[in-house]
Structure 1
Amino acid sequence: MKWGKYMSDEKDMLLKVLLVDDEPFIRKGLAALIDWEAEGFVIAGEAQNGCEAVLRLSEEDYQLVISDIRMPDMSGIELVEEVKTRKISDAKFVLLSGFYDFQYAKSAILYGCSDYVLKPIQREELLNVLRRIQKKIREEAGGRRDKSIFEKAYLDRNLLALIWGKYDEINLRYAKEKLELKGRIKYIHLEISLLDERFLSLSEEKKRVLHRQLYNYAALLFKRLSNHVIFGVTKEGECYDIGIIYSELMPDKKNMTDEEWLDWILKELRERMGFEITAFLGGWVSKLEDIAYSYREAAMARSFCFYKIPKKDIKKEPAQGAGKKAIQNKNQQDEYLRKELDALIHGIETGDKEFIKENAGELYRKMMDKGLDSKLIGMNIQYYVYRLLGLAYEIENDINQEEVMQYIQEEVFSSGMPWINEVKFRKFAEDYSEYLLQLRQNSARGIMNLIEAEIEANYSDNLSLRSMGEKYYLNSVYLGQIFKKRYGCCFKDYINGVRLRKAAELLLRTEEKVYEIAEKVGYKNTEYFINKFESTYGVTPARFRKRNCEAEKISV
């Protein structure tokens, strides 16, 4: 049976039935007795004894179990008791018996069995039982579904905060409770490919329906790990994506390698969707707090390359001359873009603001031209980014390349897509040109004296690299680099050092309370101030004041 029947509205979803009987002909007879699908059910599995049934119920969700009472190893009553006691499944149970036994019936009811049917099974009796159970399941499912939808939406909000790097401890704690994480993790971006012309030709409404189906299919494939699937992570641009918080646990459950698991999920989704599905992978991180780094790498990969083109899309033998023409066109496109890129890079390097202003937008439009080969576009974006990184390195050999690359990632790929529009593309080119200019200006280091003086005078204000950079016309990344080189610490740590030094002076020279001093030197949170002070001076502010006062008395 195809999954499409599971993917419609819940009221039309077929309820999955597990048949349990040690006699194969009984199971076959039950399956043939009625039109199960017409009644809203589907025979989704069979087991020949209670032990096998427990295993199947632990691996897959069933809504109804129809089981014989008398079976070897584990009876039907024992099966119900085992499942309910260990909370293996919420499935309803119907027990079958060749004779009526009051004690059996009493035990069945005690353990939550929904019904007790005598053999030989009568068609009408079975239909009545199924309809009663179906009604009860639908009523219960309505409340559970509302609760489940709310809980998943809340989880997704917490996961998105982590993925976008804008999370707090509440987000992190809740996400960790709901995910099954083992070992390293990474972010995987899956989307319906925009290179699939059949998909592109559809209406926006139909695309959105298919987008939701992609999410639903993935959630079904993940089964009890469906919390790891997030709908619509990419914030801007035309993208029909889902995100996966991938754990090393996932391939282990299927006895696969990472590559085999990815091939499996793509194959399953492509077959069920009927469209090309593309995957982009971020790098491994050791903890959930760092998933934003993996997400950024996946976003870069989305721009730089494509995962795999299915063999069905590769023509075996092009018509005579067609292959040569295609290669020629691709080479022409490559040359066409590379010349334009080199010219823009030269303009950025020389600080030619007019050239950047006049040509950056036009180049963006050419790069986004749908007539160009998409893989070629990704390769040229990669060429552009790494050429810019190389320019900075040529100017200053001991530059922190990781910081520059992080700056490029944040400015370009933070939304999940590179340069959503030509305005952002041009602005990035202008900003980076200014950054290179500042690298060359040795006099820029002289500004550090002014910044140092300003920190001494205004240490209690909300100072930041960005605000200092704007005031002194320095790129914030470059300012951070020369600041660390000069003082041996980052900007934030330097300001904390100044504030704590000023606080120590106030503790010794005034009788102001600790919370007043904390506020005076720029700390809004007194507890945070006390912790920072203790980590620097080895004692709390109160103990610091008392110790120094006692030392003064002794010296007198």
Structure 2
Amino acid sequence: MLKVLLVDDEPFIIQGLKVIIDWENEGFEIAGMVSNGKEALQFLENENVDLVIADIRMPEMTGLELLETLRKDKKSDVYFVILSGYADFSYAQQAMQNDCTDYILKPVDKEMLLKVLNKVLVLKNEKNKIDEDNKKMKQAYLAGHLISLIRGKYDEVNLNYVKENMRCEGGARYVEIQVEQLPAGDEILDSDMRSLQRKMYESCVAFLGADSAHCVFDVSVNEKVYDIGFICSDYMAEEAAKNERKYLEDLRRYICDNTQKNIVMLVGRKVSDISKIARSYGNACMLRSFQGFRIVKSIYYYEDEVKISADGIVLCKDSLDELLRTVEQNNHVEIRNAVATFYDEMSSMGMNGESMNLNINYLLFQFIHLASEQDDNVNQQEILRLISESSFKTGIERGSRAHMTRFCCEYGDYLSQLRKNVSRGVIGMVEKEVRDNYATNITLKSLSEKYYVNSAYLGQLFRKKYGQSFKDYLNNYRMERAAELLLRTDKKIIQIAEEVGYHDMDYFVNRFIQVKGCTPARFRRQMQSGE
């Protein structure tokens, strides 16, 4: 509802305006009624209104003087409509020069009033759209500077702009917010993940309110990680009268409720100032790699997962080096023995969970380093996470001896594949597999098993070459075959759907619309008629 202030020294004019139309039905409500310009100014000091309708001739201060005062002092950008008699028409013209929205001749005609109100509604909607566009541009510009800080590649221009346009006092943490990971080998369409990512962002923004600038969409833009970033400043929990962990859990639950998905947070170490937030971001990235070796949680805190005791770090260096050697050589028998020796040494030293995690973290870092030496063009941290997930089976404790043995054997196979440069020919074989068998239930996992390539690595290779997931590639290929059948045959659409691998007609039609922009039936008509 737009708020209206009526200004006229004649009570019967005020009353007539009040009852001449159903204001609420037209999208307006009368916020106040006063008898002259001075009273109007006093009213506007305390109340915000969208529209002032004022008589041009009044004692104390005329409508024209009221308009000039408002525009001159820039006290309000309110829409202003003058009520004028025929004899005052020249004054009305003067009012228009002072950014008066419109004028209405007395006696007030209902249709004329409705016409003017409709004009005000249109102008207000246009202004709201412009304001919203400007707000989005400003948010995007701020987000660009903030991402520079998050990634640690910034200068004083970036830092100063963030500090001038966002509350930054006190300490802060970087929080990566993501959907709970799918099991290794499972895939979801990129378009569906992007839509879910946007819902997460919108939910986070709604929760934060005035602090929405602290939420950043798509921080990991160069990786296929559908996350949002959140700069959690100390004052947020304090002003909400909560401790930090309760505040983050409430935010997580809010996003879960709005997306109907289980949401996971990776919380980096607290830094003293926004200028150091890249360190906290690095912690969150590290947590992402270690997820597969941790007990499943809703929120992972860096301090909990990567703890360093006051006595210093104790590494089983010899056992770790031997395990690294056996994995690099991909000898499964020796890998099993090396894992046993490693865990026995940790046990004999009386290591607790924290110390064991430190040793495992060291091992994982070394694995990433070994893989990056072979191929640094794909996200090796993500592949490590996926392999650790795929090696985890129900009934095995995460990070246990059995889990580590399975993981090391699979990772040894993966490193062996990298050394053989399997990527050189496997993509071509997979492309042929799609061409020959696109209508069957082929998956990335089944192809990786057939060609003896790690499924996580194969998925990364596909993204590297085609810029999309294997599932998207397969669906798009099926859509192109469906389009050919629609053009070259008179087969029924349900038959075509079956022939290209879709047994759910609704899903086929929806996917076709996403790719081609129209239904299969309309596509066929348009192509046949040459539209």
Name the TM-score class by shorter chain: 0.3 to 0.5
TM-score under structure 1 length normalisation: 0.43
TM-score under structure 2 length normalisation: 0.45
